[in-house]
Structure 1
């Protein structure tokens, strides 16, 4: 969807007049533009910071060259380019058609005829690319545009010549984990056979709506890509053997693109591609063809803060608690209203803006959208909510992370209060009173500071002194937990991802000073490749969980909050296909004596001494059709002396928190309980996410009768876990662009 131009976007680039923004990220911006003759193009630019990097300019030239190699038949034809300009840019035809992931979201899984037509053309497209000794390296549904004339392969930002790994060594991203080849996931050479592997994943997604190796954390995905069998469930029977062959771990056993195109080709001619498309998809393409000509240039005015700052006297020096000025935060991106900040292995946006908090705008609608179930008491919009970040209670508000930042809603009514535009790639934690995050203080990726998001209006303030020796890049730190005026952070000392040691840090939020640091004797990447942590402050202990990527092991560990020294550790066996084995923020179940964890069994550990209090589940029947290679117990919840956990495909078990004795169990009739989201415990009901992978529901279990009170189908999918706001009496969850709430009984 096009967006207005920012006040400081250029008027023209080359012979093209900019009309609107199509999107953007840390590396640059993509615009909708028109030539003097009226031709509409997509114009990609490079951020000025990277324009000064000759290696990045080389990468940009290679992207333009690869786009020219694939040509206009199979890609977006290159109209013009100037890689040597002060702001390098590339103009391609504006393709009238949605990305494949949007097409599947619109129409559902595509018919076999459509998938065959799609695959035939894409195989020929890759063949043309490989014929010039170029591999794409990042083929995925969002990089395939579905036009009436045929699919177009786009985004050659990491394409390269076969055998040339110079840019990879320079720090270029290696691809998208869900659609990587095993050899690419292992850091090896990605040849043309790797593109065939990725194409099979794209076609499986088109036919089923899911990728070959599921979703979840990058670490889980990378492991499954390398070692697990692909999930071909839902694929047309006639295509399943061919997809399995393309997804073979051995690249030598995969078919070439010419053979693949011949095996996929049906009776339809390539020029009759449109005849194979569903009617809903054709209608969407036709609508885009009309709407693009209705777009007129519109430019946002200069933000008042910048206008005021340009005439204001120099600000006085600030203390750590007084917070950064709006002008300084905006200046991170050279004055752009959507600042693009370079940090570490990539670049991320950071704009500490907010909506007018003095006039809360109710966002609940009188006309219920299709994705909102009938029991919802309020719903609101938050663009592209983050499925890995549960809603966060914040006083009387509920805060949700999305692509535009953190948005806060009244937890009782859904009225929108503010948006703090601290964008996607930085991680957060909260103590229920304030949200804490970090970002670079300027363009330097070193110098860690903790910022607090004020609950009253979403503005930011600096809470800690700058730690010059620690990284502030998006993959350089993770706020782990906060409590009793202290925030605990995992951070990299130095900015070399391969050599710099990682530390636990305790930072005093009252004084802004460091309390202690303890080195981690292992590699680490927040949310990603080797470890991933989730923690909680419990009394005098920082208890955290994570996983050892290559060893099928999860762990529970404890450190003393006074000095950060290790106190105890438990290793927990993890099954090969366990997905999302790490926990999201706030999901570590604990009471005043024990911490509880569910995987192959439900485990209770006394955190004072690290001893196992009890284990539950050995030898139990966990239900018909329960996967053999997945831990049968879900993330538990504990309240009022009872631990609740999903059990395989059977239902829910309730256990005594002090002994682990089974108190009662409730079988589920229709959908099995979900294992990756903990239940929510109310006063009279237990709320459980249920799913079969394609259909989601919320099930309410009566805590007195132990029977299912009701089941509410969720028209979309439950994104982030259900979250209780006990003060407001609501249970909140996210689903795509929606935030929904039902009563907490």
Structure 2
């Protein structure tokens, strides 16, 4: 469930026994620990580079002293700390429950009753923060945990004593854009009323599933917070009135924190009290909280290793930007070490890949399977396109002059070739002649036709084909996305985005849509027929350099979260936290994603079906028959692993050479019951039997 301790890790910090690694924040390593009495704790050990700084230790000590002054039913208290230790460390209570942000992204907006109970609990938590003269200053959905007996306000890493001006430089903006107050946006003094504004913004997100000032760049959000009204559309009238009062731009017009519990829950005794989660949370969230609680009961005693909800949902961090977190935690992702043992393959496999052939390749860049061929490119810019027979591995043909500029590299790289009808399409020529699009005979590589595009629309990169429409990007300054009718050899339409040079294009084999993903993570859907933009959907920047997956009536985008979008509208159906390295694959009603654990999700709801330890850092996922495949990117012990898609049982392992010379990228491509592995200067093909 947690990462095992390593030889360099301490066995104890103070009186607390460490039982595993939870993750790493900006200021230190976070461990799961048990106190002498068996209480579960999250303990952060500060990194040496900070621990050696006397000024940091002094600041860390002041933060701890301030945090210890906070005591309330809805806060996560500091349990113990040693700012003078070697290393300095801090222990907080472990809270079994997801963050508000994750719960809303996975399960949708919360019902009004839950939002009111949440508001009352957080108002009490803020009152506890304000009582000793502190201001939280970073209240946001990710700093709220949902536990069985009510919410918990965490992460006082940017809390400050109101009268301690020495801790923050004048004119600095502290907080999170979109949830900070207008006075924070203007870098003015922020008092308790600032937290009331952030509370209103956080609850608006909980009730609607969207930030009240939208998603935008930092400077845009700072302007909106200071000059525009929040978006509270869809909220029931009485709740909307309370949140609108909290979100007044003038701090003096916001309700005092002491009045808020009664405004959220006007009936006496309605505030959240210790009780089962089902009494205040909707059923899907309550079920997740119950899994957290069950896992917490077994943590560190050897009974929680293989099943359950996984280490992704442990309280792992205590970090805030630029300072040590001192009175709570954040949901973080456990780091995956190279020394973790790999599970052994099953002795009774249900699926067995057999190797068909292995071929030497000249530093292959990209890999694709089409028309019974394994295709790869060699070199860059004016490269060669090489075709191997999928059944035998013998070279069929080689064609020079393939333009291969600005192609996304590494595991996502594919040769810029598209199959449509009975031909392959590629941009062949030179940069000087615009590399016109050519239709090639798959059997021989001979040029069947040349498609010259007008003006500055000469193709620079072929992205894919859907039916008779082939998509490419121009080689000229416009960098436009071009749709070409392969039968008539005419341009159907072209589209020039603001950042076309940096966009990832995804062309599904069917569905009537083609997708552009900006580096910001925003996905744009265009109609194949005429290029009309049907919708756009923001995701996160970690998704910016990756293709999307279109399957059935949904589109899946993997980044810091796995997003399931409605293919017709772009509306978000659900989101599942993965960390920045999440990869995804889809088969029927299952969506598979890499996390600290390999996970299968229900495609309709996003609910986990199974989770298993992956045993390493996984590359892009691929599916061949009933085998889920991924490359373990371990530098010393790379391998391709295969899991049974229905159960998650490991069924196969294929070790790869550790030294791949100048081409360390490895990837897997599938076609029917055959898959090919690209690694170093070799390509190996297998058939699943």
Q: TM-score, normalised by structure 1?
A: 0.47
Alignment of 1:282 with 2:286, yes or no, is yes
Q: Which residue of 2 aligns with 1:720?
A: 543
CA displacement, residues 366-411 of structure 1 (integer Å, 9 cap, x when unaligned): 9xxxxxxxxxxxxxxxxxxxxxxxxxx972389xxxxxxxxxxxxx
Q: Which residue of 2 aligns with 1:255?
A: 255
The equivalences for 1:125-204 within 5 A come to 125-169=125-169, 174-204=174-204
Give the alignment partner of residue 296 of structure 1, picking from 293, 300, 306.
Answer: 300
Q: Residue 685 and residue 702 in structure 1: after superposition, are their counterparts in 2 closer, same or farther (change >3 A)?
A: farther
Q: Residue 343 and residue 133 in structure 1: after superposition, are their counterparts in 2 closer, same or farther (change >3 A)?
A: closer
- 1:72 Cα offset (Å): 4.7
Contact 2:483–2:494 at 8 Å: present in 1 too?
no
The equivalences for 1:404-483 within 5 A come to 431-432=406-407, 434=409
What CA distance in whole angstroms lies between the structure 1 residues aligned with 2:54 and 2:204? Answer: 38
Contact 2:407–2:413 at 8 Å: present in 1 too?
no
Q: Residue 260 and residue 254 in structure 1: after superposition, are their counterparts in 2 closer, same or farther (change >3 A)?
A: same
CA displacement, residues 92-132 of structure 1 (integer Å, 9 cap, x when unaligned): 22122222223324442111111111111211221222122
**Larger RCO: 1 or 2 (CA < 8 Å, sep 6+):** 2
Q: Which residue of 1 aligns with 2:397?
A: none
Give the alignment partner of residue 474 of structure 2, picking from 591, 599, 610.
Answer: 591
What CA distance in whole angstroms lies between the structure 1 residues aligned with 2:93 and 2:9? Answer: 21
Q: Which residue of 2 aligns with 1:637?
A: 481
- 1:640 Cα offset (Å): 5.0
Q: Which residue of 2 aligns with 1:396?
A: 367
Q: Which residue of 1 aligns with 2:25?
A: 25
Contact 1:18–1:297 at 8 Å: present in 2 too?
no
SS of aligned partner of 1:432: coil
Q: Residue 431 and residue 688 in structure 1: after superposition, are their counterparts in 2 closer, same or farther (change >3 A)?
A: closer
Give the alignment partner of residue 527 of structure 2, picking from 698, 701, 710.
Answer: 701
Contact 1:394–1:433 at 8 Å: present in 2 too?
no
Gaps of 5+ in 2: 303-318, 326-331, 351-363, 370-404, 415-430, 432-455, 458-471, 550-554, 563-575, 588-669, 672-689
The equivalences for 1:577-656 within 5 A come to 591-595=474-478, 637-639=481-483
Q: CA RMSD in A?
A: 5.4
Alignment of 1:687 with 2:504, yes or no, is no
What CA distance in whole angstroms lies between the structure 2 residues aligned with 1:454 and 1:684? Answer: 20
Q: Which residue of 2 aligns with 1:221?
A: 221
CA displacement, residues 640-669 of structure 1 (integer Å, 9 cap, x when unaligned): 599xxxxxxxxxx975679x9xxxxxxxxx
- 1:208 Cα offset (Å): 1.5
What CA distance in whole angstroms lies between the structure 2 residues aligned with 1:87 and 1:293? Answer: 28
- 1:77 Cα offset (Å): 2.5
The equivalences for 1:353-392 within 5 A come to none
- 1:196 Cα offset (Å): 0.8
Contact 1:171–1:345 at 8 Å: present in 2 too?
no
- 1:733 Cα offset (Å): 4.1
Q: Residue 221 and residue 294 in structure 1: after superposition, are their counterparts in 2 closer, same or farther (change >3 A)?
A: same
Q: Which residue of 2 aligns with 1:739?
A: 584
SS of aligned partner of 2:175: coil
Q: Which residue of 2 aligns with 1:586?
A: none
Q: Residue 678 and residue 244 in structure 1: after superposition, are their counterparts in 2 closer, same or farther (change >3 A)?
A: farther
Q: Which residue of 2 aligns with 1:52?
A: 52
SS of aligned partner of 1:32: strand
What CA distance in whole angstroms lies between the structure 2 residues aligned with 1:724 and 1:163? Answer: 50
Contact 1:158–1:173 at 8 Å: present in 2 too?
no
Q: Residue 732 and residue 153 in structure 1: after superposition, are their counterparts in 2 closer, same or farther (change >3 A)?
A: closer
- 1:207 Cα offset (Å): 1.1
What CA distance in whole angstroms lies between the structure 1 residues aligned with 2:512 and 2:261? Answer: 52
Q: Residue 104 and residue 85 in structure 1: after superposition, are their counterparts in 2 closer, same or farther (change >3 A)?
A: same
What CA distance in whole angstroms lies between the structure 2 residues aligned with 1:26 and 1:679? Answer: 34
Q: Residue 170 and residue 60 in structure 1: after superposition, are their counterparts in 2 closer, same or farther (change >3 A)?
A: farther
What CA distance in whole angstroms lies between the structure 2 residues aligned with 1:133 and 1:127? Answer: 10
SS of aligned partner of 2:10: coil
SS of aligned partner of 1:56: helix
What CA distance in whole angstroms lies between the structure 1 residues aligned with 2:137 and 2:89? Answer: 22
What CA distance in whole angstroms lies between the structure 1 residues aligned with 2:541 and 2:164? Answer: 42
CA displacement, residues 140-171 of structure 1 (integer Å, 9 cap, x when unaligned): 11211222222221111110011434332299
Structure with higher Rg: it is 2
Q: Residue 689 and residue 266 in structure 1: after superposition, are their counterparts in 2 closer, same or farther (change >3 A)?
A: farther
- 1:740 Cα offset (Å): 4.1
- 1:204 Cα offset (Å): 1.1
Q: Residue 99 and residue 455 in structure 1: after superposition, are their counterparts in 2 closer, same or farther (change >3 A)?
A: same
The equivalences for 1:479-498 within 5 A come to none
What CA distance in whole angstroms lies between the structure 2 residues aligned with 1:85 and 1:232? Answer: 48
SS of aligned partner of 1:255: coil
What CA distance in whole angstroms lies between the structure 2 residues aligned with 1:101 and 1:343? Answer: 18
- 1:215 Cα offset (Å): 2.2
What CA distance in whole angstroms lies between the structure 2 residues aligned with 1:688 and 1:238? Answer: 43
What CA distance in whole angstroms lies between the structure 2 residues aligned with 1:455 and 1:697? Answer: 19
Q: TM-score, normalised by structure 2?
A: 0.51
- 1:595 Cα offset (Å): 2.4
Contact 1:97–1:285 at 8 Å: present in 2 too?
yes
What CA distance in whole angstroms lies between the structure 2 residues aligned with 1:177 and 1:713? Answer: 22
SS of aligned partner of 1:86: coil
- 1:354 Cα offset (Å): 7.9
Q: Which residue of 2 aligns with 1:521?
A: none
- 1:689 Cα offset (Å): 5.7
Q: Residue 689 and residue 722 in structure 1: after superposition, are their counterparts in 2 closer, same or farther (change >3 A)?
A: farther
What CA distance in whole angstroms lies between the structure 1 residues aligned with 2:536 and 2:412? Answer: 35
What CA distance in whole angstroms lies between the structure 2 residues aligned with 1:700 and 1:128? Answer: 51
SS of aligned partner of 1:178: coil
Q: Residue 433 and residue 130 in structure 1: after superposition, are their counterparts in 2 closer, same or farther (change >3 A)?
A: closer
- 1:5 Cα offset (Å): 2.7
Q: Residue 455 and residue 85 in structure 1: after superposition, are their counterparts in 2 closer, same or farther (change >3 A)?
A: farther
Q: Residue 677 and residue 655 in structure 1: after superposition, are their counterparts in 2 closer, same or farther (change >3 A)?
A: same
CA displacement, residues 442-493 of structure 1 (integer Å, 9 cap, x when unaligned): xxxxxxxxxxx9989xxxxxxxxxxxxxxxxxxxxxxxxxxx9xxxxxxxxx
User: How many residues are paired up?
Assistant: 419
What CA distance in whole angstroms lies between the structure 2 residues aligned with 1:352 and 1:111? Answer: 37
- 1:262 Cα offset (Å): 2.2
Contact 2:173–2:186 at 8 Å: present in 1 too?
no
Q: Residue 394 and residue 111 in structure 1: after superposition, are their counterparts in 2 closer, same or farther (change >3 A)?
A: farther
SS of aligned partner of 1:169: coil
What CA distance in whole angstroms lies between the structure 1 residues aligned with 2:221 and 2:33? Answer: 37
What CA distance in whole angstroms lies between the structure 2 residues aligned with 1:71 and 1:455? Answer: 53
SS of aligned partner of 1:177: coil
